[in-house]
Amino acid sequence: MSSSPVSVQMDEVRSRAQSLLSSSGLAQDVKVEVHTMATIPLPLSEKYCYLPAEVMLRENLTGCSKHEALKALNKLSKALSILEKYGCNLATPTRPRYWRSVKHNNPVFRTTVDAIKGGRRVLFLYGYTNQQFDGLSFPDEITQPNTENVVAVTLEVMTLRSEVDMLVKGNHPHPEHFKDIIPFAIQQNEPVNDSKAVPPGDEQQGDKPQTPSPLTSSDPKPELASPPKPAAASAAVSECSLCGGASSLLCPSCDNQHFCDACDDLYHRHPSRATHKRDKLQKPKQETCTICGISAVHAQCSTCIQRLCANCDRLFHSHPDRKGHARTNIAPAKTSSPSLSPWECAHCTTVNEMRAVLCATCERPRLATAASTAVDSSISVPVSSNTDWQCKSCTVVNQGSSILCEVCERPRLATRPPVAPILTSPRSMPDLGAKWICQFCTFANTKPSAVCEMCSLPCKDSAGVSMPQSLQQMPSVFKDQPQLDVTPQPKPRLNMELKRQKTMRDDGLKLIHQIREAEKRGVSPEEVYAALCLCGSSNVNPCDWLTSELPHLLDEICAMAASVQLSYKVGNTGMKPVVGKCEREPEQNTAGGGGKLSRAEAKMAWLAAGGDTERAVRHLLRDRQVKMRELHSLGFQDMAQCEEALRQSGGELKGALSLLQRPLLEPFHQRIWIDQPEPPIDPKHPDKQRICRRLLALYNLPSWGRCELVLSLLQEPGVTYSLEDVVQAVKESHDKDFIRRLLNNECPCCLSIFPRSKMQSLTSCQCSVCHECFRQHFTVAVRDKHIRDMVCPVCSEPDINDPEQLDSYFSTLDIQLRDCLELEVYELFHKKLTEHALMKDPKFLWCCHCTSGFINDGDQLKVTCPSCNKSFCAQCKKPWEPQHQDVSCEDFQQWKRDNDPDYQRQGLAGYLRDNGITCPQCGFQYALTKGGCMHFSCSQCRYQFCSGCNNPYHKMKCKAPQCVYNGLHAHHPRDCLFYLRDWEPPRLQALLKRSGVNFNTDPSNGTQTDACGVMEQKDEDGQQVDSPCGVQTHPGQAGLCEKHYREYLVSLINAHTLDPALLYDIDELTRACQRYQVDTQRGDAEDDNAHHARLLKKLMEIPLGEKVPRNK
C-alpha cells in the first residue's frame, strides 16, 4: 500500500476501529469509523487487505442488468450483514455457546450467505476451515479464534456493506472506483446540478454529435431565459367547519360556514336546510405540464424553459442530449383530507369522488402510488430512444425509432386521452363526425360506426358512456344515407349469447376461486362479496383490498354517520332522537346522538348493506338507535355512558350491558366481601340456585351446568372429596366418569386415595405418588442415601448408568425438589449434586483411609487427604510408605512381597486384596475379592458393573448391536471371570502351563490353614459388611478355598492376556461364536477338526475384553 495521506488516514482509522471492536465486540461502537473508511477515496485493492471485495462484486454482478444488479446488491448487503454478525460473535469477549460451527441447514444462512457467491470464503477467513457434512467448523486443535484476524476481516465486511448500501441509495461519494464493476454507479450518483447546461436550441438537433459552444465553455453563467413563475393562489382555501378538510362551498344561511363537497352533501340533505344557497369558493388553478397538458407540474427545467410532470420529465430527459439538463423539483400543493374530500389519482392525476375506491380512468386503487406502475426515478433505467414503447392510448407496442403510434398516430409522450362527456340533451348533439372511445381497446374512433375500427367489437349499450350521442339518439340517419367515404365495417365475430354465457361461467369460477382463497386467509364469503361490489371492476384482489382499503372505508362510514348525527343535533328536527323522546330528559337524549362509532359496528353495517356505503351509514345509525333504545329501556339513562360502552364492546349489546352493570354492582361486591364474612358453601343447602350462583362468582366455572355437576358430585353418598378438588376436576372435563377417575387416584406408596391434582410424578416415568410420599422419599434419599438413589420410589427409574439420562433427569428433578423439600435438605441435595459433578474431574481422588474425595492439583505420587490428613499414593491408591518414595508402584508392590513379613503371612489372600475391585466410573478401590456375585455396585457413585470385566450392568435393553435382553444383564468377554470361574482348577492350570506362566500351589508361609482368610463383602442384616471368607481350604490350592483359588488363577490369565479359547471344546466354541454373532454353520464336506479349527480362528480374531483388569 502506498504512503499517501489518504492511505495513512485509512491505516489510522482501521487501527482505531480494530482496538474498539476487539475490546467490546459490538458493531455500534465502530459505526463512525466504518463510515469513515467507506468514504475514504481509495481503490478497492488498496482499501481491502483481507477481503476480496472486487472479486465478490464481479461474481455477483456479472451479466446483470441495472435492475437485476440492484437486487443483487441488496442481496449482497443482507449477506454481508449476517457475516458481520458472525464476525462480531467471534470477536466479542463473551462468545456464544456454539461459536465453533456454522450449520448450512440454518434458513437464515441458506437465504443470505449461501445465496451469494463468495460468502463461504469469508467464513474461511474467519477460521471456519473444517468442512463437515452439515456445515463448517473450526479445526479441533484450535481452541480460540484468531481475534486479530477476525476483527480485521469483520471491519472490511462492515466497510463493504456500508459501501454497497451507499451504492444502492445513490449517495456514494466516490462511485468512480466501481465504474469497471458497476457501470451504472456513476450515472446513478452523478448530480444533476453539476451537469453541463445545454442551450434551448441544441435540443432539437436529433442524433447529431454536439460540440461545446463558446458560450458554455467560456462564460460560466450562460444567459438563460428566466423560467415562468407559477401564478399565486387567489385566496387561501379555508378549512371545512365539520371535517377540517379543504372547503369548497360557503353557506351564508349557516352563519357563513365553510363546507367541503362531502360534508355539504350530507349536511344540506336535511329538509330544513335543503333550500340553502351556497357559494362556490375560488380555487387556485393548478398548473399543468407543458407537454401533455394533463398532469400537474413536477419539475422545472431551466435549460429547456419548460415545466414538466414526472412522467414527461422522465421520458423527455432520457434522451442522451438532454440528460445533463438541470431541473428543479416543484413541491405539490397541500391537498385536503384524503378521507372526506375528492382525491386525485397518483398515476393519472384524475380527480375522483370521495366515495370512489378505484380511479375512474385507470382503475387503480385509491392508495396506490405512482411507484406501483413505474420504477422509482432514483433507481429506474433511462429509457433508450431505440427501445420499444407502448402507446398509452391504444396499448400497441411500437418500434423505438418511431415518434408517433403506428395505429392511433398519437405522440410517444401523450397519455391516455380523456373520455368525452355524455350529452344528454337533444339540443346539444354534436355533428355526425364526433369521436368516441372504444370501451375495450380505448381506440379513438373518428367515424360514426356501431363497431370499433380497431378491435371490431360493438360499442356500449344504449346507455353507454363513450359512444357518441349521435349514434345513441339517431340510429336511422346512417341507415338511410349511403356512406360513400366510409368503408364497410365487419360484423361481430362472436355470438353475443355464447359470449355472455362464457363470461358468466368465467365470472362464477373466478368468484368461487376468490372465496376459497379468502377462506384460507380467514375472510368470510360475505366480506368477499361486499369487497367485489366496490373493486370488482379492477384487478385488485378482494382480500388485499379488505386489508388495505377496508379500514379506511370503515373510518369514512363512521365519519359520515357521525356527520349525520351532528347535523340532526344542530337542526333539532326531522328524525327522532337516538333513543326516543323522554319528557323528563329531552336534552340528554338529544345529546346522545354525537357519540363515537366503532369499526366493528361499521363493518357489520357494511356487510349487511352488501358493500353499499350509503346504505351502510343508514343501517349503522338504525342499529345504534335500536341498541340505545334497548339500553334505555333497561334503565340506563346516561347516553354518554351508553355510547361509550357500545363503542368499547364493538357494538355488542351484551358486552355493553356488562360494562354498564359493572360499576353498578361494585357497591354490592364491596358489601358482600368486606362488611360481613362469607359463609362456607353447603352442598346440601335447599336453595340450589343460590349455591350455583355462589360457585359461579367464587370459582369462575364456565357454565351453569358445571355448577350443577359440582353439586351432584358433592351430594353423592360416601363422598370424601373437598369442594376445591371437585371444582378443579369439573373445570377440566364435563364427563362424570372421567371426573371420578380424576378424583380417585391411589398412591402406590401409602395406598391412599387422592385427586389427580394432588399427585406428583417424575419426568422419567409414568408413576404418580402423593405429595407427602414424594417429599418423604426424596428427603430420606438426600439425607441417608447416595445421590444415585434419588430415583422413582415405584419403578426405580431412570437408569443411573446412562450419563445422558442422568444429566437431564437431575436438571428437572432440581426444579421439582425446590418447592418440595425443606431448605436444609435442599441445600444438602445441591451439595451432593456438586460432589457428583466433581467426580467427573480427572484430578478428583478418593481417599483410601476415609470416604472423602478432593481435587488433587499436584503431580506427585504422595498426596494427603484434607479430611483425615493421611497420605496415600495417587496412582495405586495404597497407603503411603517411605519405601514408595522414588519407586514405581509395581516395584514397590514387589518389594512388599519380598520383604514385608506381614504381607508374606497373608500370602495369596493379600495378593487378592491388593488386586481387588476398582470402580471404572469413579476409580474408588475396594480391598475385596471378585468371587461370589459378579454384579458389583459402587458405594461411592452407585455405578453397577461386573467385577470381572468392568462392563456395566443394564436394567433393560441396552444400546449394544442386536441385544435381545430386556432384564438385568451385562455383556461379558470370553476371558471374564464370569465364564472362567466355572472351570476346574486343573484346567485353568493347564492354560497357564501352556503359556509358561508360574502359579502357586502351596501357602507362602509353609503352613496349611483350615479356613480361607480372603476378605469379602457380605450382606448381613441388610448392610454390606467386609469379613473373611471362612470356607474350608484344600491341599494344593495355596491355602485358599476353591472359589478364591480359581479367582487367583484367572487373575494370572488376565494379567498375561491369555485366550481361554485354546482349550474350548466344540460345544463351548459354538456357544462363544454365537455370543459374538459368528457364523457357526458347518461347511460342505468339512470334518470335525477342520470345523473346529475354522471356528477357533474366527473366534480368536475377536479381541479379548478391553476393560478386563490386567494387574501383574
Catalytic sites, residue numbers: 933
Distance set, CA 1052 to CA 312, 1000, 1010 (Å) = 104, 11, 24
DSSP classification of residue 144: S
Q: Is 234 helix (H, G, I), strand (E, B) or coil?
A: coil
Helix (H) or strand (E) holding 56: helix 53-61
d(CA 970, CA 949): 10
Q: Hey, which residues does 131 pair with through a beta bridge?
A: 136
Closest CA to 801 of 930, 931, 968: 968
Q: Which residue carries 381497446 as its cell?
A: 441
Helices 53-61 & 66-91 angle (0-180, nearest 10): 140
Q: Is the dihedral of CA 502, 506, 507, 511 positive or negative?
A: positive
Closest CA to 571 of 595, 593, 604, 598: 593
**Residues of 474-488 as b/e, b for ≥16 C-beta within 10 angstroms?**
eeeebeeeeeeeeee
Q: Give the number of other Cβ atoms within 10 Å of residue 1031's Cβ.
A: 17
d(CA 915, CA 977): 14
**Residues of 785-816 as b/e, b for ≥16 C-beta within 10 angstroms?**
ebbbebbbbbeebbbbbbeeebeebbeebeee
**Residues of 848-884 as b/e, b for ≥16 C-beta within 10 angstroms?**
beeeebbebeeeebebebeeeeebbbbebbbebbeeb
Q: How far is CA 876 from the centre of its chain?
A: 56
> DSSP letters along 811-822, please?
HHHHHHHHTTS-
Q: Indicate left, alpha or beta for 409 from its phi (over 0: left) and psi (-120 to 50: alpha).
A: left
Q: Decide if 123 contacts 136 (C-beta within 8 A).
A: yes
Residues in CB range of 25: below 8 A, 6 or more apart = 88, 89, 91, 92, 93, 94
Distance set, CA 1062 to CA 299, 991, 995, 1074, 1088 (Å) = 104, 8, 11, 17, 16
Reading across the β-sheet that carries 299-301, which strands appear in turn?
A: 306-308, 299-301, 327-329
Maximum CA extent, the chain: 153
Backbone angles phi, psi at 328, to 5 degrees: -125, 125
d(CA 698, CA 679): 12
Q: Is 257 helix (H, G, I), strand (E, B) or coil?
A: strand
Helices and strands, counts by H and E, the chain: 38, 29
Q: Hey, which residues does 301 pair with through a beta bridge?
A: 306, 327
Closest CA to 17 of 133, 217, 204, 156: 156
d(CA 644, CA 660): 10
Q: Decide if 782 contacts 821 (C-beta within 8 A).
A: yes
Q: Indicate left, alpha or beta for 720 from its phi (over 0: left) and psi (-120 to 50: alpha).
A: alpha
Cis status, amide bond into 798, omega within 30 of 0:
yes
